[in-house]
């Protein structure tokens, strides 16, 4: 695991450079991401040519955390989330990177930002290692070093005052400048010359990182024995249309895998460029993404909007999350969308909801989820809201969401249903 001292220390940059360097060495790499992120996994997949799996203790049972680690690849690299010990509030470290490393017995490399410091960096490392008796931190990568001499000063101090081994550095000039927008980095699908930029940056990383030391540390991880995932009955030979393009690409890979394992055939299509839904669908799945960034193109694709609206009106089963909810409504910022659900969405300048939540469904199902959006929805006449959503860290804070109409269910909450047969039936059968 590559973990950070806090957000902004450079762990995503270091992770991508290491993934690229390992791939260039001819290794098959399995990337994973701690937490409910969608954007970083897109970069990981682009670098490694292999799907990135999320590992999130709030959303997933412990068995689900182990399954992606039993992958047959040469090495698995997990990018941590936020600061190493930061999780679901309090001091029990729930849902933190440390919690995940402890549960999976994964050795950890701590990424430290050394800009403006040298010997003092050792104090940071020592603090992280001594906070708990078994921190899992075994190595350090020094980020934003001004050069070899700066790195050596940090290395000598860290290895004198702590038991961690320094495993190289990333120079300030090696950082990859990636554009951002309101939910984080601009996705890999929209980043120009990504592979060229990563290849060039990782050339210097191959020279400044201790690749042999990193691989040696990875070999100390215990073997994973993951139980078989539960069967998801009723999906054999079902044709599920999955929206996938620049506007809709926020999916947990394990959810897609679970549908395929259950015998469903996933039919990918683009609401941006295709003219109508694929033929013969049994269900529809529209995930999150950035429909607000492509609202003009989505609105202009009238034939696709009409095809979806007619199919849902005729009773096609549909499950939509966040961006999918926005697309199925009447409008986004006044631009017409599918128009099936009686709601309108508008973009705001701040986050409307952010964090882990628990969902109580009107059918009696209760499940964990995550929300992260700037959009605000306004129910219109005839809207039926079927979710009661409460914050995980403050259950007294609750609100209504979840629009239900015919056989369509749509909500802002992102869910992990791969290990929950009842939830999968609710969404797709």
Q: What is the pLDDT of residues 397-412, one digit of tens each?
A: 999 999 999 999 999 9
Specify the higher pLDDT residue, 90 or 10. 10
State the average pLDDT over residues 93-105.
Answer: 95
Q: Is residue 298 part of a domain?
A: yes
Could you tell me if 5 and 84 are in contact, meaning their C-beta atoms sit under 8 angstroms apart?
yes
Q: Is residue 224 part of a domain?
A: no
Cα–Cα distance, 400 to 389 (Å, whole number): 6
> Does 90 lie in the same domain as 33?
yes
Q: Report pLDDT for 196.
A: 76
Q: Is the pLDDT of residue 354 over 80?
A: yes
Q: Report pLDDT for 205.
A: 86
Q: What is the CATH number of the domain that holds 112?
A: 3.40.50.300
Q: Report pLDDT for 274.
A: 98
Give the angle subtended at the CA of 43 by the CAs of 34 and 250, to the nearest 5°: 70
Q: Is residue 223 part of a domain?
A: no
State the average pLDDT over residues 253-268.
Answer: 97
What integer best gives the mean pLDDT of the chain? 93
The helix (run of H) or strand (run of E) holding residue 142 is strand 137-145
Q: Is the pLDDT of residue 414 over 60?
A: yes
Q: Is residue 229 part of a domain?
A: no
Q: Structural domain tally of the chain?
A: 2
- pTM of the full structure: 0.93
Q: Report pLDDT for 187.
A: 74
3-state class (DSSP) for residue 343: strand
Q: Is 322 a catalytic residue?
A: yes
State the average pLDDT over residues 128-140.
Answer: 97
The helix (run of H) or strand (run of E) holding residue 2 is strand 2-4
State the average pLDDT over residues 37-63.
Answer: 93
Backbone angles phi, psi at 381, to 5 degrees: -55, 135
> Does 212 lie in the same domain as 250?
no
DSSP, res 291: G
3-state class (DSSP) for residue 184: strand
Which among 9-13, 88-92, 240-244 has the top mean pLDDT?
240-244
State the average pLDDT over residues 209-215.
Answer: 97
Check 9, 32, 322, 401 and give the catalytic one: 322
> Does 183 lie in the same domain as 69?
yes
Q: Is residue 391 part of a domain?
A: yes
Among residues 189, 218, 247, the one where a domain terminates is 218
Query: Which range of residues forms the domain containing residue 67?
Result: 2-218
Q: What is the pLDDT of residues 282-301, one digit of tens each?
A: 999 999 999 999 999 999 99
Q: Is the pLDDT of residue 141 over 90?
A: yes
Specify the higher pLDDT residue, 7 or 304. 304
Q: Is residue 190 part of a domain?
A: yes
> Does 193 lie in the same domain as 288?
no
Q: Is residue 227 part of a domain?
A: no
Among residues 165, 188, 218, the one where a domain terminates is 218
Q: What is the CATH number of the domain that holds 374?
A: 3.40.50.880
> Does 129 lie in the same domain as 267?
no
> Does 248 lie in the same domain as 287?
yes
Q: What is the pLDDT of residues 166-200, one digit of tens each?
A: 999 999 865 666 656 555 566 767 776 777 777 77
State the average pLDDT over residues 88-112.
Answer: 92
- Report residue 226's pLDDT band, with 50, 70 and 90 as the boundaries: confident
Of 44, 126, 132, 39, residue with least CA distance to 87: 132
Task: State percent of the chain over pLDDT 90.
Answer: 83
> Does 420 lie in the same domain as 301?
yes
Report residue 387 as tokens.
């979710």
Q: Report pLDDT for 85.
A: 96
Report residue 311 as tokens.
């199919």
Q: Is residue 418 part of a domain?
A: yes
> Does 394 lie in the same domain as 254?
yes
> Does 258 lie in the same domain as 184?
no
> Does 143 lie in the same domain as 76?
yes
Task: Name residue, tokens 């039926």.
Answer: 384
Q: Report pLDDT for 197.
A: 75
State the average pLDDT over residues 116-132.
Answer: 96
Could you tell me if 174 and 21 are in contact, meaning their C-beta atoms sit under 8 angstroms apart?
no
> Does 271 lie in the same domain as 410?
yes
Backbone angles phi, psi at 231, to 5 degrees: -70, 140
Among residues 166, 188, 218, the one where a domain terminates is 218
Cα–Cα distance, 218 to 3 (Å, whole number): 14
> Does 198 lie in the same domain as 113?
yes
């Amino acid at each position: 695991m590559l973990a950070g001292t806090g957000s902004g220390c450079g762990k995503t940059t270091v992770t991508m450079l290491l993934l690229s360097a390992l791939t260039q060495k001819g290794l098959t790499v399995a990337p994973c991401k701690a937490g409910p992120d969608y954007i970083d996994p897109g970069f990981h997949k682009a670098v490694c040519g292999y799907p990135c799996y999320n590992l999130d203790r709030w959303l997933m049972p412990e068995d689900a955390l182990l399954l992606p680690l039993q992958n047959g690849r040469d090495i698995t690299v997990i990018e941590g989330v936020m600061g190493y010990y930061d999780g679901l509030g309090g001091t029990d470290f729930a849902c933190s990177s440390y919690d995940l490393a402890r549960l999976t017995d994964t050795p950890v490399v701590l990424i430290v930002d050394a800009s403006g410091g040298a010997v003092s960096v050792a104090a940071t490392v020592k603090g992280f290692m001594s906070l708990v008796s078994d921190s899992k931190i075994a190595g350090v990568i020094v980020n934003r070093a001004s050069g070899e001499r700066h790195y050596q000063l940090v290395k000598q101090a860290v290895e004198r005052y702590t038991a961690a081994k320094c495993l190289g550095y990333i120079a300030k000039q090696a950082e990859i400048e990636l554009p951002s927008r309101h939910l984080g980095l601009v996705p890999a699908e929209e980043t120009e010359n990504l592979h060229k930029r990563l290849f060039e940056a990782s050339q210097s990383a191959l020279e400044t990182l201790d690749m042999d030391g990193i691989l040696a540390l990875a070999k100390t991880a215990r073997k994973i024995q993951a139980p078989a995932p539960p069967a998801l009955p009723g999906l054999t030979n079902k044709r599920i249309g999955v929206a996938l393009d620049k506007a809709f690409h926020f999916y947990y890979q394990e959810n897609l895998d679970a549908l395929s394992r259950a015998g469903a055939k996933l039919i990918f299509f683009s609401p941006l460029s295709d003219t109508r839904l694929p033929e013969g669908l049994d269900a529809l799945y529209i995930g999150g993404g950035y429909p607000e960034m492509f609202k003009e193109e989505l609105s202009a694709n009238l034939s696709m909007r009409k095809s979806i609206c007619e199919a849902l009106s005729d009773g096609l089963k549909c499950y939509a999350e966040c961006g999918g909810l926005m697309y199925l409504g009447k409008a986004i910022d006044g631009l017409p969308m599918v128009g099936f659900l009686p709601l309108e969405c508008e973009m705001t300048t701040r986050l409307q909801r952010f964090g882990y939540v628990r969902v109580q469904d009107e059918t009696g199902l209760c499940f964990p989820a995550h929300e992260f959006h700037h959009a605000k929805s306004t129910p219109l006449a005839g809207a039926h809201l079927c979710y009661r959503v409460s914050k995980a860290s403050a259950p007294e804070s609750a609100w209504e969401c979840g629009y239900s109409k015919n056989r369509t269910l749509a909500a802002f909450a992102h869910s992990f249903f791969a290990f929950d047969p009842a939830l999968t039936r609710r969404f797709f059968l």
